[in-house]
Amino acid sequence: MEKKTTLLTFCVKAVALLVILFGVDRLVGATFVVMKDVALARNPYHEWTKTAYILDKCDAECLVVGSSKAERSYVTDILQDSLQVSVYDGGQGGCFFLFQNCVVNMLLDRGKPKLIIWDVQPECLPEGSTMQEYQNVRYLSPYYDSDSWARDFVDSEDSRAAVKMQCQMFRYNTKLVQYVMPILGGGKKTKGGYSPLPICGYKYPVLKDGIVKAEALMVKLDEYKLNVYEKTLSRCKENNVDMTILISPSYSIKGKAYKEAVVKLAEVAKRYGYQLMDFSSDERFMCDSTLFKDASHLNDRGARMYTSIVAAALNDKK
């Protein structure tokens, strides 16, 4: 009888502990949701809340989508003055091709925006690409329950995500500093989303042919990524989104796989009535390394020159 009582007491305590842990976990999740809203209200242009701002708050008529190349290449003031629409540069470091597709689809579900400038990176397309597609999956984890696109993206990175994401502490385990800094006013603010790189104080990049040798083994394009890209463009067309796909300049020799990816990206875009403008090897930039901070990123002088060229090209499309 005493053993049964002890076992019953243990079970009751265990259940009570699980209930308490579940309640604490839910409370933590609710707290982070409030923190995100406060962070966006107090400091909407903070670099660490960029994804949340794009999805929840941004009402710009034109949105730039892309990685750090986009973030460093499109000067919003120049685009706004030229296009006569409000513009936000939503480019974000480490957020590559599949992440960008996910964000575009999430934006379509929210009915915004009607004009998208999508800066793509062809080097993400070859099979065996070293681009880490999921390194910033944490930016989308808070949307796991509310958005099927975010859920599919998170699940594709981790087969056990559906279980892990039931724990709010796991879902928000990287968000404390990300939300606290904007609330306290710390960190870098990027009004308009453009984040300029300095024009001096470092060694300018040098052209190398290593990329050609590295790409010699990567000649087949990733069919999964191409299918995702095509579905995204199809939905954009269905939603009457005016989109231009761009490849910003980079100071490097382009290999076979890169060039094949550019051709395929342009081919799919054309199928849905969209234009791809390739500036990756534009002579105006390739002849002057002082326009770059490194091989992948324009500095502020290069970005201003490039944005002016893009703005003129977009106006010519009208």
Going from N- to C-terminal start, the domains of the chain cover: 2-317
What CATH number has the domain spanning 2-317? 3.40.50.1110
Can you tell me the distance from the alpha carbon of 315 to that of 318, in angstroms, rounded to the nearest whole number?
A: 5
| Sheet strands (E) in 3-86 | 62-65
- What does pLDDT average to over the chain? 86
Over range 288-310, report the average pLDDT. 96
* Contact criterion met (CB below 8 Å) for 90 and 44: no
Q: State what percent of residues in the chain have pLDDT above 90.
A: 51
For residues 305 and 283, give the distance between their C-alpha atoms in angstroms, rounded to a whole number. Answer: 13
Q: Is 206 exposed, middle or buried (CB count within 10 Å of its CB: 0-12, 13-18, 19+)?
A: exposed
Q: In whole angstroms, what is the distance from residue 65 CA to residue 96 CA?
A: 10
The DSSP output letter for 277 is E
Nearest to 255 by CA among 129, 119, 66: 129
111-156, pLDDT tens digit by residue? 889 899 999 999 998 887 767 777 778 888 889 888 999 999 888 8
CA–CA separation, 53 and 36 (whole Å): 10
User: By C-alpha distance, which of 264, 179, 183 is closest to 229?
Assistant: 264
What tokens does 289 get?
């390394």
- pLDDT given for residue 253 in this prediction: 85
Beta-strand ranges (E) seen in the chain are 62-65, 87-89, 115-119, 242-247, 275-278
Q: Which of 119, 98, 295 is nearest to 211 (CA)?
A: 295
What is the rounded CA–CA span in Å between residue 251 and residue 291?
9
CA-CA distance, 11 to 20, in Å (whole number)? 14
- Please, which pLDDT band fits residue 265 given cuts at 50, 70 and 90? very high
Closest CA to 169 of 141, 127, 147: 141
Q: What is the pLDDT of residue 4?
A: 64
Q: How far apart are CA 96 and CA 196, in angstroms?
A: 19
Is residue 108 very low, low, confident or very high in pLDDT (cuts 50, 70, 90)? very high
Q: Which of 58-67, 182-191, 212-221, 277-286 shows the lowest per-residue confidence on average (mean pLDDT)?
A: 212-221
SS3 of 59, please?
A: coil
pLDDT of residue 25: 65
pLDDT at 110 over 60: yes
The per-residue pLDDT for 209 is: 57
Q: Take residue 46 and report the two structure tokens written for it.
A: 């903070």
DSSP class of residue 298 equals B
**Does position 217 have pLDDT exceeding 60, yes or no?**
no
Question: Residue 187 region, left (φ>0) first, then alpha (ψ -120 to 50), else beta?
Answer: left
